[in-house]
Structure 1
């Protein structure tokens, strides 16, 4: 069985799984404090999610974390965070960025490379501490903990750019920190791009800077696109020596009508940007949608009109009544081990995702309250749904967290609890298609079986 052309990458990172030496997805690197770090993937075709496995023996501290940040073409960007001791009673949360590259056309093995330190090396942090007596925590540092403002963009060959955009309400304006492989220094550069309306006209910059709060970063052509799901998108050409930020609003009927990534998503399918939004019928912002709450799933495509202006074109609409009617027990759960949707267990849909290779398909997370008292741990019974918006049908479903997991391993128990308390959107990525290998058996095993 070949690797899938694209994957829904689960942000949860498994730390206790096996790390076989012959795994064709595995790569080894080191962080800035010298720790050995290994990453491998369990790759499956959607709607089954693909998993990340981490081998980081030194990363056992309470503040040691590892997150997948972004992906484009054969690249996956990871962020590592850990405390750095800056004296007898001082510590600072430092971040490393590691770039994973899948096997190239020559069949080379995957790589995991440490990028230049962002915010200073450990020695530079210590020197700053000695000179100033403290290092201030900024709002941007806190946003960095959530991986909100950074993305990766690849171009032909091995060229890439990694960038973080900082939007503040100060007179300084936006700060764009860029690391490009094409520069000889391979260090971060500071740019101060102006913000302009994408289609001309005026922009209340003071209000914009006050309201802007990016949720994610999307690669699109030569652009990285910072997305605020309540406002719109900032487009920035990452290979322009003098970049600008071009602001495009979302359609009027979806602006401000969402709860971040819980009910809205931007993605790119075959080079075309798409927007999907779960819009409440009553106009009230909601975090999730149940059979009792009327809503509409609306899909938009970004196009250029005859005046060369970017416009959102509505191309698919699905009412919630139709969605719930297609989720029939004998169709969605034909096997005995699947459970029925029951109203008293609060079924809801969230976290839309756009297919990378089929413009008519979106994915949704369907969850209902688990039987926590019986199980003895917190979890939500969860499925992943593939919806064909052109045919208004359920294309496929996958039981993500089942109602009865038997005697789960400690790792699977931690997984279910983590999803219960802080479910995060999946990351659409196509690095899997860049492998020139066939999948051996151990790559196809589920995490609980591996």
Structure 2
């Protein structure tokens, strides 16, 4: 008699669910009452009123949002996400103070620390009478553990017409702000004009906090030391703005800087707008900075005419217009995200994702989750002219992407 053997049904283990590696945040914070969630963190405003912050994630290229509730009076527009580093987000808003002039209403800065067990919201003390600047040039630097620094850089002209800088720095160790007066790098031959400096973005690279003016370049320093020295590196492939404070425009529409996989990247859409030589064929270029030599190296470039000639683009409803607000994908190599619109008056803006190596593309209508109750037109597919913020704040949360 033959021996009968049982056969084992070999089952394939299910593939591990993809995790959310990064998020692209709308810098505008959604205000209102929201259901409680595991991402909730609480603090108080400078008026002693409650603040509750939570995060609403979506897998890129969909947009994520910071949600905020407070029973205080927010003045001068909604709160904003100013900057990010690691598991930290820096949020800013202005709150009204009874019997005070609006010019004296204080900036309130909050640091949100993501955690799967116990998210935290730290209220930074308000700045003193020396504070007069913009909140946008404020960055956050996670120095390890629960320690962090926040720093705001302002350039100005001194009493003797010298070009100097003021750096306001908050340390989580001292729990106070400190004001530094710093000499600006003297490098006009390399395109650095401190009097015209306008910070467009703030980011961290290694031990440095970096401020970028998309018409000039990057100034950077180590904010963890009390001997602060500013250094400058010029952006490649652009004409440095002349020594005038006029005509800054909206450079974040065509330029951005990113830190990804250990490199500093500069992305430039050359549409001729900021060129004195007139318009040429529009192209998109990506550069990386060799940090030892402080030299830029071009990694990729493509002409928009080549993109528009792709069959999928030609068969799509996308207009043949210059893409804007570039954002580097922090997960897939060589992938950029853009906003494409037919005109500023159009009610339908598009989110377009492009692989710069193959010109493969994906697109869908841009989805805006922030309601505008007084808007005169439908804004659900409208992108507002505020560059999105790429962040890896979700990495510590082990969140599924929700997409197959």
- If the length of structure 2 is used for normalisation, what is the TM-score? 0.82
* Change in 2 beyond 3 A, CA 1:119/1:86: farther
Structure 1: how far apart are the matches of 2:267 and 2:175?
36
How many residues were matched structurally?
A: 375
Deviations, residues 387-407 of structure 1 (Å, cap 9, x unaligned) = 11122321x3332149xx9xx
Tell me which residue corresponds to 1:14: 30
Structure 1: how far apart are the matches of 2:229 and 2:378?
42
Q: Which runs of structure 2 are paired with 1:19-98 in the superposition (5 Å)? A: 19-21=34-36, 23-59=37-73, 63=76, 65-86=78-99, 92-98=104-110
* Change in 2 beyond 3 A, CA 1:414/1:181: farther
Tell me which residue corresponds to 2:147: 159
Contact 2:371 2:379 in 1 (8 A): no
Structure 2: how far apart are the matches of 1:415 and 1:229?
32
- Mark the runs of 5 or more structure 1 residues left unpaired by the alignment: 121-137, 287-291, 333-339, 371-377, 445-450
Contact 1:230 1:258 in 2 (8 A): no
* Change in 2 beyond 3 A, CA 1:159/1:393: same
Larger Rg computed on CA atoms: 2
Tell me which residue corresponds to 2:8: none
Structure 2: how far apart are the matches of 1:37 and 1:415?
31
Tell me which residue corresponds to 2:268: 277
- Structure 1, 61-70 or 161-170: larger mean CA deviation: 61-70
Match of 2:120 among 111, 119, 125: 111
Match of 1:341 among 314, 318, 321: 318
* Change in 2 beyond 3 A, CA 1:369/1:249: closer
Report the CA distance between 1:57 and its aligned residue: 3.2
Report the CA distance between 1:77 and its aligned residue: 0.4
Deviations, residues 121-147 of structure 1 (Å, cap 9, x unaligned) = xxxxxxxxxxxxxxxxx9x74x52xx3
Structure 1: how far apart are the matches of 2:22 and 2:346?
28
Report the CA distance between 1:225 and its aligned residue: 0.6
* Larger helix fraction of residues: 1
Q: CA RMSD in A?
A: 3.4
Tell me which residue corresponds to 1:181: 172
Structure 1: how far apart are the matches of 2:201 and 2:379?
24
- Mark the runs of 5 or more structure 2 residues left unpaired by the alignment: 1-16, 242-247
Report the CA distance between 1:350 and its aligned residue: 0.8
Contact 2:372 2:379 in 1 (8 A): no
Report the CA distance between 1:293 and its aligned residue: 8.1
Tell me which residue corresponds to 2:182: 193
Structure 1: how far apart are the matches of 2:48 and 2:191?
44
* Change in 2 beyond 3 A, CA 1:326/1:48: farther
Contact 2:366 2:383 in 1 (8 A): no
Match of 2:138 among 140, 150, 153: 150
* Change in 2 beyond 3 A, CA 1:320/1:178: same
Report the CA distance between 1:79 and its aligned residue: 0.4
Tell me which residue corresponds to 1:297: 284
User: Are residues 1:364 and 2:367 paired?
Assistant: no
Report the CA distance between 1:409 and its aligned residue: 7.0
Report the CA distance between 1:237 and its aligned residue: 1.1
Report the CA distance between 1:76 and its aligned residue: 0.3
- If the length of structure 1 is used for normalisation, what is the TM-score? 0.74
